[in-house]
Amino acid sequence: MSPEQALIVSLFVLVSCLTGLEARAQAEQEVADHLQAIQQLTEDALNASRAVAQAASIAEVKQQADHVFAAVWGVPSGLAQDGATL
């Protein structure tokens, strides 16, 4: 292999390594973002469930339970609607 070919191969390997490092850093940031979102959802669900424990009426329990459900699943449960039963 000529010195020029060796240089080209070396540059190719270097660029490949740098690209791989950049992709890894991006993947690690995405994982960190997802973990942060999971932590926030967990905290929201915990706070909402604590509010359920403080509820003074069935209607308030339904409302707070709906908040817990929405915090965990991302959609309302329907418990807070008129006529809904537990």
d(CA 48, CA 9): 58
pTM over 0.75: no
pLDDT-based confidence at 85, cuts 50/70/90?
low
CA 49-33-72 angle, 5° bins: 25
pLDDT-based confidence at 84, cuts 50/70/90?
low
Mean pLDDT for 3-8 is 76
The dihedral through the CA atoms of 77, 81, 84, 86 has a sign that is positive
